[in-house]
Protein backbone atom coordinates (compact mmCIF):
# COMPACT_ATOMS: atom_id res chain seq x y z
CA UNK A 1 0.00 0.00 0.00
CA UNK A 2 0.95 3.62 -0.43
CA UNK A 3 0.94 5.09 3.07
CA UNK A 4 1.13 8.73 4.11
CA UNK A 5 2.78 8.92 7.53
CA UNK A 6 1.79 12.04 9.50
CA UNK A 7 5.01 12.92 11.34
CA UNK A 8 4.56 15.42 14.16
CA UNK A 9 8.24 15.53 15.07
CA UNK A 10 7.76 13.32 18.10
CA UNK A 11 8.92 9.81 18.88
CA UNK A 12 5.54 8.09 18.38
CA UNK A 13 4.90 9.22 14.82
CA UNK A 14 8.53 8.53 13.84
CA UNK A 15 8.36 4.92 15.06
CA UNK A 16 4.91 4.48 13.49
CA UNK A 17 6.34 5.55 10.12
CA UNK A 18 9.27 3.16 10.57
CA UNK A 19 6.95 0.26 11.28
CA UNK A 20 4.81 1.03 8.24
CA UNK A 21 8.00 0.92 6.19
CA UNK A 22 9.06 -2.38 7.81
CA UNK A 23 5.65 -3.83 6.89
CA UNK A 24 6.53 -3.37 3.23
CA UNK A 25 4.44 -0.29 2.51
CA UNK A 26 5.53 2.57 0.29
CA UNK A 27 5.78 5.33 2.89
CA UNK A 28 5.91 9.09 2.48
CA UNK A 29 6.29 11.37 5.49
CA UNK A 30 4.39 14.62 5.89
CA UNK A 31 4.54 17.22 8.63
CA UNK A 32 1.54 19.47 9.16
CA UNK A 33 2.39 23.14 9.61
CA UNK A 34 -0.47 24.21 11.86
CA UNK A 35 0.67 26.55 14.64
CA UNK A 36 3.90 28.02 15.96
CA UNK A 37 4.80 27.88 19.63
CA UNK A 38 6.94 30.44 21.39
CA UNK A 39 10.01 29.01 23.16
CA UNK A 40 9.67 28.29 26.87
CA UNK A 41 12.38 28.97 29.44
CA UNK A 42 14.41 26.01 28.24
CA UNK A 43 14.59 27.54 24.78
CA UNK A 44 12.40 24.80 23.27
CA UNK A 45 9.09 25.49 21.61
CA UNK A 46 6.05 24.17 23.44
CA UNK A 47 3.06 22.32 22.05
CA UNK A 48 3.29 20.53 18.73
CA UNK A 49 3.62 21.40 15.05
CA UNK A 50 6.26 24.08 15.67
CA UNK A 51 9.20 24.84 13.32
CA UNK A 52 11.40 22.83 15.66
CA UNK A 53 9.03 19.88 15.33
CA UNK A 54 9.17 20.14 11.55
CA UNK A 55 12.96 19.88 11.68
CA UNK A 56 12.76 16.86 14.00
CA UNK A 57 10.28 15.17 11.65
CA UNK A 58 12.54 15.82 8.65
CA UNK A 59 15.54 14.33 10.44
CA UNK A 60 13.53 11.21 11.29
CA UNK A 61 12.40 10.86 7.66
CA UNK A 62 16.03 11.18 6.55
CA UNK A 63 17.08 8.36 8.90
CA UNK A 64 14.25 6.18 7.53
CA UNK A 65 15.11 7.11 3.96
CA UNK A 66 11.57 8.13 2.99
CA UNK A 67 10.32 11.16 1.03
CA UNK A 68 9.23 14.02 3.27
CA UNK A 69 7.01 17.06 2.76
CA UNK A 70 5.54 19.86 4.84
CA UNK A 71 1.89 20.68 4.25
CA UNK A 72 0.72 24.14 5.26
CA UNK A 73 -2.72 23.71 6.80
CA UNK A 74 -2.46 26.73 9.09
CA UNK A 75 -5.46 28.52 7.58
CA UNK A 76 -7.69 25.45 7.85
CA UNK A 77 -6.43 24.80 11.39
CA UNK A 78 -7.08 28.41 12.44
CA UNK A 79 -10.66 28.19 11.21
CA UNK A 80 -11.65 24.67 12.21
CA UNK A 81 -9.75 24.29 15.47
CA UNK A 82 -8.59 27.63 16.93
CA UNK A 83 -11.69 29.63 16.03
CA UNK A 84 -13.92 26.76 17.13
CA UNK A 85 -12.03 26.74 20.45
CA UNK A 86 -12.69 30.47 20.93
CA UNK A 87 -16.32 30.25 19.85
CA UNK A 88 -17.02 27.36 22.21
CA UNK A 89 -15.52 29.12 25.23
CA UNK A 90 -17.37 32.33 24.35
CA UNK A 91 -20.59 30.29 24.35
CA UNK A 92 -19.88 28.91 27.83
CA UNK A 93 -18.75 25.48 26.65
CA UNK A 94 -15.49 23.58 27.23
CA UNK A 95 -14.13 22.19 23.94
CA UNK A 96 -11.45 19.58 23.36
CA UNK A 97 -9.27 20.92 20.51
CA UNK A 98 -7.47 17.58 20.06
CA UNK A 99 -10.75 15.90 19.09
CA UNK A 100 -11.56 18.71 16.69
CA UNK A 101 -8.08 18.52 15.15
CA UNK A 102 -8.42 14.78 14.60
CA UNK A 103 -11.87 15.22 13.09
CA UNK A 104 -11.28 18.26 10.91
CA UNK A 105 -7.55 18.19 10.14
CA UNK A 106 -5.74 14.87 10.53
CA UNK A 107 -8.58 12.63 9.37
CA UNK A 108 -10.50 15.00 7.10
CA UNK A 109 -8.26 17.54 5.39
CA UNK A 110 -5.16 15.32 5.42
CA UNK A 111 -6.95 12.08 4.59
CA UNK A 112 -8.95 13.69 1.79
CA UNK A 113 -5.78 15.10 0.27
CA UNK A 114 -3.92 11.81 0.74
CA UNK A 115 -6.62 9.82 -1.03
CA UNK A 116 -6.75 12.38 -3.84
CA UNK A 117 -2.99 11.92 -4.30
CA UNK A 118 -3.33 8.17 -4.57
CA UNK A 119 -2.42 7.09 -1.05
CA UNK A 120 -4.30 4.17 0.46
CA UNK A 121 -3.97 5.01 4.17
CA UNK A 122 -2.81 7.60 6.68
CA UNK A 123 -0.47 6.38 9.42
CA UNK A 124 -0.14 8.18 12.77
CA UNK A 125 1.49 7.59 16.13
CA UNK A 126 -1.78 7.47 18.06
CA UNK A 127 -2.10 4.74 20.67
CA UNK A 128 -5.21 2.96 19.35
CA UNK A 129 -5.97 -0.09 17.23
CA UNK A 130 -7.93 -0.81 14.06
CA UNK A 131 -9.10 -4.43 14.09
CA UNK A 132 -11.07 -6.41 11.54
CA UNK A 133 -14.67 -7.03 12.60
CA UNK A 134 -17.72 -8.72 11.07
CA UNK A 135 -18.94 -5.39 9.65
CA UNK A 136 -15.52 -4.06 8.62
CA UNK A 137 -12.65 -2.29 10.38
CA UNK A 138 -13.28 -1.38 14.03
CA UNK A 139 -11.64 1.25 16.23
CA UNK A 140 -10.39 -0.15 19.55
CA UNK A 141 -8.54 1.02 22.64
CA UNK A 142 -4.77 0.63 22.80
CA UNK A 143 -3.37 -2.24 24.85
CA UNK A 144 -1.63 0.26 27.16
CA UNK A 145 -4.58 1.89 28.93
CA UNK A 146 -2.34 4.65 30.31
CA UNK A 147 -1.49 5.82 26.79
CA UNK A 148 -4.79 4.95 25.11
CA UNK A 149 -5.94 7.72 22.73
CA UNK A 150 -9.10 6.14 21.39
CA UNK A 151 -11.17 8.80 23.18
CA UNK A 152 -9.77 11.61 21.02
CA UNK A 153 -10.26 9.43 17.94
CA UNK A 154 -13.91 8.76 18.75
CA UNK A 155 -14.93 11.47 16.27
CA UNK A 156 -13.79 9.40 13.27
CA UNK A 157 -16.38 7.92 10.92
CA UNK A 158 -16.30 4.46 9.39
CA UNK A 159 -14.53 5.57 6.22
CA UNK A 160 -11.82 7.34 8.17
CA UNK A 161 -11.25 4.33 10.43
CA UNK A 162 -10.92 2.09 7.36
CA UNK A 163 -8.15 4.35 5.98
CA UNK A 164 -6.32 4.81 9.31
CA UNK A 165 -3.20 2.95 10.43
CA UNK A 166 -2.07 2.97 14.08
CA UNK A 167 1.08 0.80 14.35
CA UNK A 168 1.63 1.54 18.07
CA UNK A 169 -1.69 0.29 19.43
CA UNK A 170 -0.24 -2.84 21.01
CA UNK A 171 2.82 -1.16 22.57
CA UNK A 172 3.92 0.65 25.69
CA UNK A 173 5.62 4.03 25.48
CA UNK A 174 8.88 2.83 27.07
CA UNK A 175 9.19 0.16 24.38
CA UNK A 176 8.53 2.70 21.64
CA UNK A 177 11.29 4.97 22.97
CA UNK A 178 13.70 2.04 23.20
CA UNK A 179 12.91 1.09 19.61
CA UNK A 180 13.47 4.67 18.45
CA UNK A 181 16.89 4.65 20.10
CA UNK A 182 17.80 1.37 18.40
CA UNK A 183 16.78 2.84 15.06
CA UNK A 184 19.01 5.87 15.61
CA UNK A 185 16.10 8.35 15.78
CA UNK A 186 17.14 11.53 17.59
CA UNK A 187 13.60 11.99 18.95
CA UNK A 188 13.89 8.87 21.14
CA UNK A 189 14.12 10.98 24.32
CA UNK A 190 12.05 13.95 23.18
CA UNK A 191 9.44 14.87 25.84
CA UNK A 192 5.80 14.31 25.05
CA UNK A 193 3.74 17.33 24.09
CA UNK A 194 1.18 18.06 26.80
CA UNK A 195 0.04 21.59 25.95
CA UNK A 196 -2.63 22.85 23.59
CA UNK A 197 -0.39 23.40 20.60
CA UNK A 198 -1.66 26.89 19.80
CA UNK A 199 -1.40 28.09 23.43
CA UNK A 200 2.38 28.31 23.45
CA UNK A 201 2.87 29.32 27.09
CA UNK A 202 0.25 26.99 28.57
CA UNK A 203 -1.85 29.91 29.86
CA UNK A 204 -5.26 29.08 28.40
CA UNK A 205 -7.09 31.76 30.42
CA UNK A 206 -4.62 34.40 29.20
CA UNK A 207 -4.98 33.20 25.62
CA UNK A 208 -8.76 33.52 25.84
CA UNK A 209 -8.63 36.91 27.56
CA UNK A 210 -6.31 38.32 24.90
CA UNK A 211 -8.68 37.27 22.11
CA UNK A 212 -12.07 37.59 23.77
CA UNK A 213 -11.34 40.62 25.96
CA UNK A 214 -12.24 41.33 29.57
CA UNK A 215 -15.88 40.73 30.37
CA UNK A 216 -16.46 41.39 34.09
CA UNK A 217 -19.40 39.63 35.68
CA UNK A 218 -20.75 38.07 38.85
CA UNK A 219 -20.11 34.76 40.57
CA UNK A 220 -23.36 33.63 42.22
CA UNK A 221 -24.49 30.69 44.32
CA UNK A 222 -27.45 28.43 43.56
CA UNK A 223 -29.88 30.95 45.10
CA UNK A 224 -28.59 33.75 42.89
CA UNK A 225 -26.77 35.54 45.71
CA UNK A 226 -23.60 37.27 44.54
CA UNK A 227 -20.54 35.70 46.17
CA UNK A 228 -17.73 37.02 43.96
CA UNK A 229 -16.71 38.56 40.66
CA UNK A 230 -14.86 37.49 37.54
CA UNK A 231 -13.20 39.18 34.56
CA UNK A 232 -14.45 36.68 31.98
CA UNK A 233 -16.77 33.69 32.31
CA UNK A 234 -14.76 31.95 29.57
CA UNK A 235 -11.94 31.41 32.08
CA UNK A 236 -14.07 28.89 34.00
CA UNK A 237 -15.24 25.36 33.33
CA UNK A 238 -17.88 23.19 34.97
CA UNK A 239 -16.39 21.28 37.89
CA UNK A 240 -13.64 23.83 38.57
CA UNK A 241 -12.79 24.44 42.23
CA UNK A 242 -9.63 26.56 42.29
CA UNK A 243 -9.30 30.16 41.19
CA UNK A 244 -12.95 31.08 41.80
CA UNK A 245 -12.10 34.21 43.79
CA UNK A 246 -15.13 33.84 46.04
CA UNK A 247 -15.14 36.44 48.78
CA UNK A 248 -18.07 34.97 50.66
CA UNK A 249 -17.67 31.40 51.98
CA UNK A 250 -20.51 28.87 51.91
CA UNK A 251 -22.67 28.79 55.05
CA UNK A 252 -21.60 25.21 55.76
CA UNK A 253 -17.94 25.99 55.11
CA UNK A 254 -17.68 23.38 52.34
CA UNK A 255 -15.81 24.11 49.10
CA UNK A 256 -17.78 25.26 46.09
CA UNK A 257 -17.43 24.30 42.45
CA UNK A 258 -18.50 25.79 39.14
CA UNK A 259 -21.92 24.38 38.28
CA UNK A 260 -22.85 26.48 35.29
CA UNK A 261 -21.47 29.16 32.97
CA UNK A 262 -24.02 31.48 31.40
CA UNK A 263 -22.70 33.59 28.50
CA UNK A 264 -26.04 35.40 28.24
CA UNK A 265 -26.06 36.75 31.81
CA UNK A 266 -22.24 36.57 32.05
CA UNK A 267 -22.64 34.78 35.35
CA UNK A 268 -20.75 31.87 36.85
CA UNK A 269 -22.87 29.72 39.17
CA UNK A 270 -21.13 27.86 42.00
CA UNK A 271 -22.35 25.29 44.48
CA UNK A 272 -21.57 22.05 46.36
CA UNK A 273 -19.79 19.09 44.78
CA UNK A 274 -22.85 16.84 44.81
CA UNK A 275 -24.67 19.28 42.53
CA UNK A 276 -22.21 18.26 39.80
CA UNK A 277 -23.51 14.67 39.70
CA UNK A 278 -25.32 13.83 36.47
CA UNK A 279 -26.94 10.63 35.21
CA UNK A 280 -28.05 11.71 31.75
CA UNK A 281 -26.08 13.24 28.89
CA UNK A 282 -27.46 14.79 25.73
CA UNK A 283 -25.07 15.01 22.80
CA UNK A 284 -25.23 16.62 19.37
CA UNK A 285 -23.37 15.84 16.14
CA UNK A 286 -23.07 12.09 16.80
CA UNK A 287 -20.27 10.29 14.99
CA UNK A 288 -20.15 6.57 14.28
CA UNK A 289 -16.87 4.77 13.41
CA UNK A 290 -18.92 1.76 12.31
CA UNK A 291 -22.55 0.94 11.51
CA UNK A 292 -25.08 3.44 12.84
CA UNK A 293 -27.13 1.72 15.59
CA UNK A 294 -30.79 1.17 14.76
CA UNK A 295 -31.99 1.64 18.33
CA UNK A 296 -31.04 1.80 22.00
CA UNK A 297 -28.00 -0.21 23.05
CA UNK A 298 -25.92 -0.96 26.13
CA UNK A 299 -22.40 0.47 26.29
CA UNK A 300 -19.85 2.16 28.52
CA UNK A 301 -19.67 5.97 28.37
CA UNK A 302 -16.48 7.99 28.86
CA UNK A 303 -16.49 11.79 29.18
CA UNK A 304 -12.77 12.52 29.63
CA UNK A 305 -9.68 11.38 27.75
CA UNK A 306 -8.40 9.34 30.69
CA UNK A 307 -11.55 9.07 32.74
CA UNK A 308 -13.39 5.92 33.74
CA UNK A 309 -16.02 4.48 31.42
CA UNK A 310 -19.42 4.13 33.14
CA UNK A 311 -22.03 1.48 32.17
CA UNK A 312 -24.85 3.16 30.30
CA UNK A 313 -27.67 2.86 27.79
CA UNK A 314 -27.47 5.00 24.65
CA UNK A 315 -30.48 6.20 22.67
CA UNK A 316 -29.58 7.43 19.16
CA UNK A 317 -31.99 10.01 17.80
CA UNK A 318 -31.92 12.00 14.61
CA UNK A 319 -29.09 14.49 14.96
CA UNK A 320 -28.46 13.78 18.63
CA UNK A 321 -27.65 11.13 21.21
CA UNK A 322 -29.07 10.61 24.70
CA UNK A 323 -26.96 8.57 27.15
CA UNK A 324 -28.37 7.39 30.49
CA UNK A 325 -25.70 6.37 32.98
CA UNK A 326 -26.03 3.53 35.48
CA UNK A 327 -24.05 5.59 38.01
CA UNK A 328 -23.59 9.36 38.24
CA UNK A 329 -20.51 11.11 36.92
CA UNK A 330 -19.35 14.48 38.19
CA UNK A 331 -18.37 17.74 36.55
CA UNK A 332 -19.53 17.18 32.97
CA UNK A 333 -19.19 20.35 30.91
CA UNK A 334 -21.09 21.18 27.72
CA UNK A 335 -18.65 21.04 24.82
CA UNK A 336 -16.90 17.91 26.08
CA UNK A 337 -17.26 14.66 24.16
CA UNK A 338 -18.95 11.50 25.32
CA UNK A 339 -17.39 8.43 23.69
CA UNK A 340 -19.19 5.08 23.80
CA UNK A 341 -17.45 1.71 24.09
CA UNK A 342 -18.27 -1.98 23.98
CA UNK A 343 -15.33 -3.53 25.85
CA UNK A 344 -12.37 -2.05 23.93
CA UNK A 345 -14.31 -1.13 20.80
CA UNK A 346 -15.34 2.48 20.11
CA UNK A 347 -19.00 2.53 19.10
CA UNK A 348 -19.58 6.25 18.64
CA UNK A 349 -19.33 9.72 20.12
CA UNK A 350 -21.16 13.02 20.41
CA UNK A 351 -20.50 16.54 21.68
CA UNK A 352 -22.24 17.08 25.02
CA UNK A 353 -24.83 19.85 24.93
CA UNK A 354 -26.44 19.19 28.30
CA UNK A 355 -26.19 16.98 31.35
CA UNK A 356 -28.45 16.35 34.31
CA UNK A 357 -30.99 13.85 35.65
CA UNK A 358 -33.83 12.49 33.47
CA UNK A 359 -36.59 13.18 36.01
CA UNK A 360 -35.41 16.71 36.73
CA UNK A 361 -34.86 17.45 33.05
CA UNK A 362 -38.58 17.48 32.44
CA UNK A 363 -39.00 20.26 35.01
CA UNK A 364 -36.17 22.32 33.50
CA UNK A 365 -34.59 22.64 36.92
CA UNK A 366 -31.31 20.84 36.29
CA UNK A 367 -27.93 21.79 35.03
CA UNK A 368 -28.90 20.18 31.74
CA UNK A 369 -31.83 22.53 31.38
CA UNK A 370 -29.56 25.51 32.06
CA UNK A 371 -26.64 24.48 29.91
CA UNK A 372 -28.11 22.74 26.89
CA UNK A 373 -27.61 24.59 23.66
Long-range contact list for 176-182, CB < 8 A, 24+ apart? 176/11, 176/12, 176/15, 177/11, 179/15, 179/18, 180/11, 180/14, 180/15
At residue 209, the 3 state secondary structure works out as helix
Of 131, 112, 132, which is closest to residue 122 (Cα–Cα)?
Answer: 112
The yes-or-no answer on residue 123 being catalytic is no
Contact by Cβ (8 Å): 282, 321: yes
At residue 66, the 3 state secondary structure works out as coil
Quote the DSSP letter at residue 83: H
End-to-end CA distance of the chain: 44
Q: Which of 98, 101, 123, 299 is catalytic?
A: 101
User: What Rg value do the Cα atoms of the chain yield, rounded?
Assistant: 22
For 200, residues 6+ apart whose C-beta sits below 8 A from its C-beta are 36, 37, 38, 45, 46, 47
Alpha-carbon distances, residue 241 vs 68, 219, 269, 331 (angstroms): 46, 13, 12, 10
Contact by Cβ (8 Å): 231, 214: yes
Quick one: 58 exposed, middle or buried, by C-beta within 10 A (0-12, 13-18, 19+)?
A: middle
Q: Which of 49, 123, 197, 299 is catalytic?
A: 197
Q: How far apart are CA 197 and CA 367, in angstroms?
A: 31
Residues forming the active site: 101, 197
Amino acid sequence: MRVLAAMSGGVDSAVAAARALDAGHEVTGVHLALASGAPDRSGRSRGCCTPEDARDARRAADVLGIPFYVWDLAERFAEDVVQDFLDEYAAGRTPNPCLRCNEKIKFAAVLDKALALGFDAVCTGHYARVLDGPDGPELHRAVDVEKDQSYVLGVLDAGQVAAAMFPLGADRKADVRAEAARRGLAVADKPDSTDICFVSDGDTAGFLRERLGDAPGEVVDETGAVVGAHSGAYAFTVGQRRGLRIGRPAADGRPRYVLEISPVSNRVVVGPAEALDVTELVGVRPRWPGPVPAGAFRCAAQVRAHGDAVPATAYPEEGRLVVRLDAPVRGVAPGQAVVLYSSTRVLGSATISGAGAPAARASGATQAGRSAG
